Structure 1
Amino acid sequence: MKSGIFTISLDFELLWGIFDKVGARYKPEYFSNTRKIIPNMLELFGSNGISVTWATVGMLFAENEEEWKFYSPAYLPSYRDKKLSAYEWAKLNGIRPEVHFAPELIGQILATPFQELGSHTYAHYYTLMRGQSPEQFRQDLRATQKIAEDKFGLRMKSLVFPRNHINELYLGICLEEGYDYVRGNPKNWFWQETQHESFEKKLFRSADCFFEVGEKSSFGIDEIREFDNEPLILPASRILRPLNPLNPPFNSVRLRRIFREMELAAKHNEVYHLWWHPHNFGNAPDQSMKELGQLIQHFQKLREQYGMESLSMAGMGEKAKSRLLTV
């Protein structure tokens, strides 16, 4: 029997996700808030039966700088723009464990029911930036699987490309290195080719959080297609934009939009794939957690009323594969 699916994937990065945007000018409390709030998020997910994929930057697995260097590949990304390289940033600014390493949080993720640990590459790798190569990307993926296997005894199956830079020429490498599932971008035009940003794209993406300016965000699981020598692409539906503590109307309108989309997916037995970064909660942790509670409460209503189920990326992918086998 078909039912709607609610999937959450989180891009777990700490400073590795924004180093090239903020340089050394970051707020330490932003990430200390993030570290404090993740156990609360896990408690909320685990106690409510919410499956979540934590797409984690591989560098976060390291205990210290020595371990970080040990697992880093010998063949580093040779971006033309050196400021895009996590290695170059660390060389110039140094390593700070509180914003660069989090093995204890990864252990908590693995110890919490219904959670999947996925990959966000080892070094927040940008596959569409000039200068890097397929072999460098392969070495990055291998470093991620190696540190996960050595420290936690697992091989990851799900991958999220940093900045949603999906290089279709690299999909075969993902599958060869153990990734069966990759998060895709929402299908609207303003989410395509994210390496080429424009004011128009940003404007439409922002507006779409509040109003229906694009196509509907949910999709049927039978829309997921399988191609030879590639992982399954699992489209995203929407990003949960960071809460603005100074603008309550902004917060409520964007949340109501998500609630409506979730209900539409539940009614029509479709998939709704929501994503965000845990550090998005760093500026307003208490209010953000309150919103997350409301989101989960809304899902519980849809679960009771329509039989909507919560699945990780791997769970959604396995269900899609089983349907493909019966076609």
Structure 2
Amino acid sequence: MPQPVFTISLDFELLWGVFDKVGNSYPPDYFANTRELVPRILDAFGNHGIEATWATVGMLFAENEEEWHHYSPVHKPSYRDVKLSAYEFAKQKGLDPKVHFAPELIKRILETPGQELGSHTFAHYYTLMRGQSPEQFRHDLKASQRIANEKFGVRLKSLVFPRNHINELYLPICLEEGYTQARSNPKDWFWQETQHEDFSKKWFRSADCFFPIGKRTSFVPNELIALPLEPLLIPASRILRPISKNNMLFNAVRLSRVKKEMSLAARLDETYHLWWHPHNFGTDPAAAMAELEDLLSHFQKLKAEYGMVSRNMENLAAMVCSRANPETMAVGR
């Protein structure tokens, strides 16, 4: 029987997600706020019965620089633009535990019911950038699985590609390395080939967060098909854009858009997949947490009225697989 689903995935990166854009030039309290916010987000999820997938950069699993070196793969990405390499950045700028390591937060994620620990690759790997190779990508995925398994006893199953750079030729590698589902982009043209960031794509992506410019982004789970040699691709519906401290109208309109899309998905028995980066909350933590509480309360209303349920990526994929084949209760193939 069809049932509306609310799915959340978070790209947990700290500085590894933006080092090639900001270097060490970030507000001093930005990532400190993020570290304090992760347990608060987890508490909010727990209070509202929310499942979520935390797609985590593998380097965050390390305790210190020695452990970081131990788990880093021998075959590293050979980007033509060396500024894209996390390894080159660490070599030049050094490693700071406050922004590069977070094993205590990963432990907290695993201790919270309904939370899935997923992968954002080991080194925030860009699969569409020139110079890197399929085998280097494979070694990156192996490094994430190794550190997750040896430190936390976890086998990672859900993958989110950094910067939403999805190289379709690499999808069989993902499945071979244990990733049975991955987040994909919405179907609108301005979400495709995200490595080519021209002004028009950025403008349409931004505008669509406020006004319905693109197609409806919620979807029917039964329409998702896992190809034999690839992970199940679970489309994103909407990114929860960061708070704008100086524009209350901006904040209200974009939040209203998300809530309206959630409501429509609930009425149509569809799935709505919201995602963001935890560090997006670091600019204005109080306002960001208030918005999150508003969204989760809205989910509770949709749950009461339409039977909407919360599922992380792994459990959503299991639902898809079980409906396609009632004798199969997991996506593992």
Q: What TM-score, normalized to structure 1?
A: 0.99
For each residue in 1:17-76, what CA deviation from the matched residue of structure 2 results, as whole angstroms up to 9, or x when unmatched? 000000121223100000011110000101211000000000000000000000000001
Q: Are 1:248 and 2:248 matched, yes or no? A: yes
Aligned match of 2:275: 275
Distance in 1 of aligned mates of 2:2 and 2:310:
13
Report whether the alignment pairs 1:309 with 2:309. Answer: yes
Count of residues in correspondence between the two structures:
327
Q: Give distance in 1, aligned partners of 2:166 and 2:191.
A: 11
1:108 paired residue number? 108
For 1:87, the equivalent position in structure 2 comes to: 87
Following TM superposition, by how much is the alpha carbon of 1:90 offset from its aligned partner in structure 2, in angstroms? 0.5
Matched residue SS, 1:10: strand
The aligned counterpart of 1:226 is 226
Counterpart CA distance in 2 for 1:197 and 1:65 is: 34
What one-letter code is carried by the residue in structure 2 that aligns with 1:79? Y
Cα distance in 2, alignment partners of residues 114 and 233 from structure 1: 21
Aligned to 1:194: 194
**How far does the alpha carbon of each residue in 1:230-272 deviate from its partner, in whole angstroms, 9 at most, with x for none?**
0000000000000111111100000000000000000000010
Query: Corresponding residue for 1:58?
Result: 58
Percent identity, please.
Answer: 65
For 1:274 and 1:153, how far apart are their aligned partners in 2? 28
Equivalent in the alignment of 1:14: 14
SS, match of residue 77 in structure 2: coil
> Partner of 2:209 in structure 1?
209
For the pair 1:298 / 2:298, whether they are aligned, the reply is yes
Q: Deviations over 1:203-236 (max 9, x none)?
A: 0001001101010110111221121210000000
The residue that corresponds to 2:47 in the other structure is 47
Cα distance in 2 for partners of 1:223, 1:246 equals 41
The letter of the residue matching 2:212 is E
Q: Residue in 2 aligned with 1:154?
A: 154
Q: 2 CA distance for matches of 1:271 and 1:229?
A: 24
Alpha-carbon distance in 1 for matches of 2:163, 2:198: 15
Q: Deviations over 1:106-141 (max 9, x none)?
A: 000000011000000000000000000000000000
The 3-state SS of whatever aligns with 1:21 is: helix
Instruction: Provide Cα deviations, 1:262-308, integer angstroms capped at 9, x if missing partner.
Output: 00000000010000000000000000000000000000000000000
- CA deviation after TM superposition for structure 1 residue 326, in Å: 5.2
What is the SS of the residue equivalent to 1:28?
A: coil
Indicate the SS of the match to 1:53.
Answer: strand
| Distance in 1, Cα, partners of 2:161 & 2:13 | 12
1:239 and 2:239 correspond: yes
Gaps of 5+ in 1: none
| SS of equivalent to 1:2 | coil
What amino acid does structure 1 have at the position aligned with 2:24? A
Query: Which of structure 1's runs of 4+ aligned residues deviate more than 4 A?
Result: none
214-223 or 63-72: bigger deviation:
214-223
Aligned to 1:163: 163
**What stretches of structure 2 of length at least 5 have no aligned partner?**
328-333
C-alpha separation in 2, matches of 1:274 and 1:73: 32
The answer to whether 1:178 aligns with 2:170 is: no
Pairing of 1:68-79 with structure 2 (within 5 A):
68-79=68-79
Q: Deviations over 1:74-125 (max 9, x none)?
A: 0010000000000000011000000000000000000001100000000000
TM-score (norm 2): 0.97
- Alignment partner, residue 28 of structure 1: 28
How far does residue 2 in structure 1 lie from its aligned partner after superposition?
1.4
**CA RMSD in angstroms, aligned pairs only:** 0.9
Q: Which amino acid aligns with 1:14?
A: L
Q: What is the rounded CA distance, in whole Å, between the counterparts of 1:226 and 1:176 in structure 2?
A: 14
What is the DSSP-based 3-state SS (H/G/I as helix, E as strand, rest coil) of the residue aligned with 2:10? strand
- Other structure's SS at 1:255 match: helix
What is the CA–CA distance in structure 1 between the aligned matches of 2:33 and 2:175, rounded to whole Å? 35
Letter in 2 for 1:148: A
